Amino acid sequence: MPGRNNVYLHSTEEAANRKNAAQELLKNAPPLVVASIKNGILFVGESYNVLLRKTAEIYDKIAFGAIGKYAEFNSLRKEIIYLADTMGYRYARQDVTTERLVEHLAEQLQVAFNNFRQMPPMVAIILAEINEKPEHDKIFKVSFDGDITSHHPYIVVGYNAEKIDKKIKKLLGDKKMSDLKHGAAIVLIKEAIITSKDDSSEKTKLEISFLSRNKTGRCFYRLK
Amino acid sequence: MYFLKELKKYIDSLQVEKMDKDKMAKLAVKGTVIMAIKYNKGVLIAGDMRVTRGYDILQEDFYKIYPISGGKAVIAIAGVVAFAIKMIGILNLEIEHFEKREETELSFDAQANLLSQIVSSFLPLVFNGIVVAPILASQDKIYGYDPLGARYERNIWITGSGESFAQGSLDDDWDPQSKTKNDAVKMAVKALKKAQKNAGVGPGRVIYLIENKIRKLTEEDIKNITGGE
């Protein structure tokens, strides 16, 4: 029968379509920058709604950042907080590792992406963990299809990510990200986000949170 | 209430009917006297440091008072140590989990309510001689618990096996508005001393003050206030 063939799609083709759809949405999501600096890890994201937070605390030294659909990444956030708390209670607080949480996230996202009966998940999630020295900090990105990538010393995701990345490199010059303290780093990243906007007259609302290297116990707090 | 279900499952799995009450009394490690006293600027919470098993003294340096996650409250425990520590663990876990999940603080009353539910879920064990009676205190409130999980808000609360001896040196007409920190410390030290007439209560003592900040008094601080006692 003619026409039938047009309806049927090979699974690789289907996957490519889903990938495109998710990438399209993520390209237009407000940007988020996660940077490992001298006294901690900094999360700076553009956000238009105070209720829809894109950064959050996960465990003592681990924090979460995400772009994409709020409902989707929020349920994943709750899931990994539960996992981290359970692990911390069963074993010990220092046994909760980012790798384990990232693995869980990747598994969930991969399964959801391969389920062709549903919409693909449209999120990119970043988990970051501080250590005693900036060079040992861990920043992982888990994308919508379950891919895991590791980034150091910083990562930019969302709208105009490449442009912002270039701006940050330009602003940094000879300096290193790991030499900056949070005050200077916020100013730098803020400028990079604002100047790479298409319409620079538009007002920018930022969400800033911080994992502090100098604290003990729960190290996460919000700056704005 | 995310972890309470699992706690209940655990308690159900213990096969309470098969427990021997007398054996349990010999095996169980117990802590003894704790008290909380309200004064004009905050709350004092104190306890001894002895834990016993049957007629044996196991430890003279055991802490029965712990600050709770969230920085608002302090818990003191009397009764079977194993389950008391489990209660503190679950309470801390629930509070921290709530704070991270909902991104808001859990109020003190909610924490007290949660502890009440945790204590009452140990009900099947109470009839086998496993009794835990904690005190939860914040800057302006004291909640005392009975082993069944009921909570009472009082200006002074004392539990443990040394209770009846200490009761005599507590002021019945204690008015928290007119009493200072020093009055409270003096009374607590006296009560702890009296409680030592019970064999379960040791000479060690821990005193916490909950004002704007939670702080533990050193032995030196206590001696300065009481004049060397």
Dump the DSSP string for B201-229.
--S-EEEEEESSSEEEPPHHHHHHHHT--
Query: Considering only A70-79, A136-145, A194-203, B103-112, which range has the smallest mean pLDDT?
Result: A194-203
Contacts of A81 in chain B (CB under 8 A): 97, 100-101
Give how far Cα B225 sits from Cα of A31, B19, B183, B213, Å: 58, 47, 9, 19
How far is it, in rounded angstroms, from Cα A152 to Cα A138? Answer: 7
Q: Which residues contact B206 (CB under 8 A, 6 or more apart)?
A: B46, B47, B48, B49, B63, B64, B65, B216
Q: What is the mean pLDDT of residues B178-182?
A: 94
Give residue A8's pLDDT: 67
- Residue linked to tokens 């911390």: A88
Give the C-alpha separation, B80 to B99, whole Å: 29
- pLDDT value, residue A110: 94
In which band, very low, low, confident or very high, does the pLDDT at B70 lie, cut at 50, 70 and 90? confident
Nearest to B97 among A53, A85, A218 (CB): A85
Identify whether the C-beta of residue B45 lies closer than 8 Å to the C-beta of residue B205: no
CB atoms within 10 A of CB A164: 23
Instruction: Confirm or reject contact between B71 and chain A (CB < 8 A).
Output: no
Q: Does residue B36 sit in helix, strand or coil?
A: strand
Angle of helix A98-114 relative to helix A70-90, nearest 10 degrees, comes to: 140
d(CA A68, CA A71): 9
Q: Is pLDDT of B31 > 80?
A: no
* Among B101, B102, B103, B118, the residue to mutate for chain A (most A Cβ within 10 A): B101
% residues pLDDT > 70 (chain B): 100
User: Is 70 exceeded by the pLDDT of residue B72?
Assistant: yes
Spatial CA neighbour of B143 closest among B178, B188, B171, B107: B107
Q: How many CA atoms lie within 13 A of A28 on its CB side?
A: 7
Average pLDDT over residues B136-156: 94
- CA-nearest residue to A82 within chain B is B97
Beta carbons of A89 and B93 less than 8 Å apart:
yes
In angstroms, how far is CA A162 from the centroid of its own chain?
Answer: 15
- Contact list in B for residue A89 (CB cut-off 8 A) is 3, 89, 93
Q: Evaluate if residue A2 carries a pLDDT over 60.
A: no
Residue A116 pLDDT: 85
Task: Identify the pLDDT of residue A117.
Answer: 85
Q: Tell how strand B214-216 and strand B156-159 pair up.
A: unpaired
Mutation for testing the A interface, residue in B100, B102, B118 having most A CBs under 10 Å: B100
List residues of A whose CB lies inside 8 A of any B CB: 53, 56-58, 78, 81-82, 85, 88-89, 218
Tell me which chain A residues have a C-beta less than 8 angstroms from the C-beta of B100.
56-58, 81, 85
User: Phi and psi (nearest 5°) for B216?
Assistant: -95, 135
Candidates A185, A186, A203; CA nearest to A194 is: A203
Q: With the C-alpha atoms ordered A214, A124, A171, A136, is the resulting torsion angle positive or negative?
A: positive
Q: What is the mean pLDDT of residues B105-117?
A: 95
pLDDT at B91 (0 to 100): 96
Write out the two tokens for B224.
Answer: 């300065």
Whether residues B2 and A82 touch (CB distance < 8 A) is answered with yes
Task: Give the DSSP letter string of B94-143.
Answer: HHHHHHHHHSSPPPHHHHHHHHHHHHHTTHHHHTTT--B--EEE-SS-EE
To the nearest whole Å, the CA of B208 is away from the closest chain A CA by 21
Are the beta carbons of A53 and B2 separated by less than 8 Å? no
**Residues in B touching A53 (Cβ below 8 Å):** 103
Structure confidence at residue B26 as a pLDDT band (50, 70, 90): confident
Q: CB contacts < 8 Å between A and B, how many? A: 21
In the three-class reduction of DSSP (H, G, I as helix; E, B as strand; rest coil), residue B64 is classed as coil
pLDDT at A66: 96
Cβ contact (<8 Å) for A85 and B103? no
Interface of B with A in 79-118 (CB under 8 A): 89, 93, 96-97, 100-101, 103
Interface list for B 3-22 with A (CB within 8 A)? 3
pLDDT of residue A4: 52
In chain A, the percentage of residues whose pLDDT exceeds 70 is: 96
Q: Which of A96-105, B28-37, B176-185 has the lowest mean pLDDT?
A: B28-37
Work out the average pLDDT over A156-179.
93
| pLDDT tops 80 at residue A6 | no
Q: Which residues have a Cβ under 8 Å from the Cβ of B124 and sit 6 or more positions away?
A: B11, B12, B14, B16
Rounded CA separation A15/A166 (Å): 31
Q: Does residue B32 carry a catalytic annotation?
A: yes
d(CA B28, CA B50): 14
CB contact under 8 A, A81 and B101: yes
The pLDDT of residue B1 is above 60: yes
Residue of A nearest to B90 (CA): A89
Instruction: Return the pLDDT at B206.
Output: 95
**What is the per-residue pLDDT for B198?**
87
% of chain B at pLDDT higher than 90: 67
Beta strands in A12-112 (DSSP E): 32-37, 40-46, 55-59, 62-68
Set B32, B52, B218, B226: catalytic member: B32
Are B100 and A53 a contacting pair at CB < 8 A?
Answer: no
- Spatial separation of the C-alpha atoms in residues A116 and A120, rounded to whole Å: 8
Confidence of residue A5 (pLDDT cuts 50, 70, 90): low
User: How far, in Å, CA of A105 to CA of A148, rounded?
Assistant: 9
ipTM: 0.90
Q: What is the pLDDT of residue B55?
A: 86
Q: Do B100 and A82 touch (CB under 8 A)?
A: no
Lowest mean pLDDT among A161-170, B110-119, B124-133: B124-133
- Which one, of A1, A74, A67, A61, lies nearest residue A33 by Cα? A67
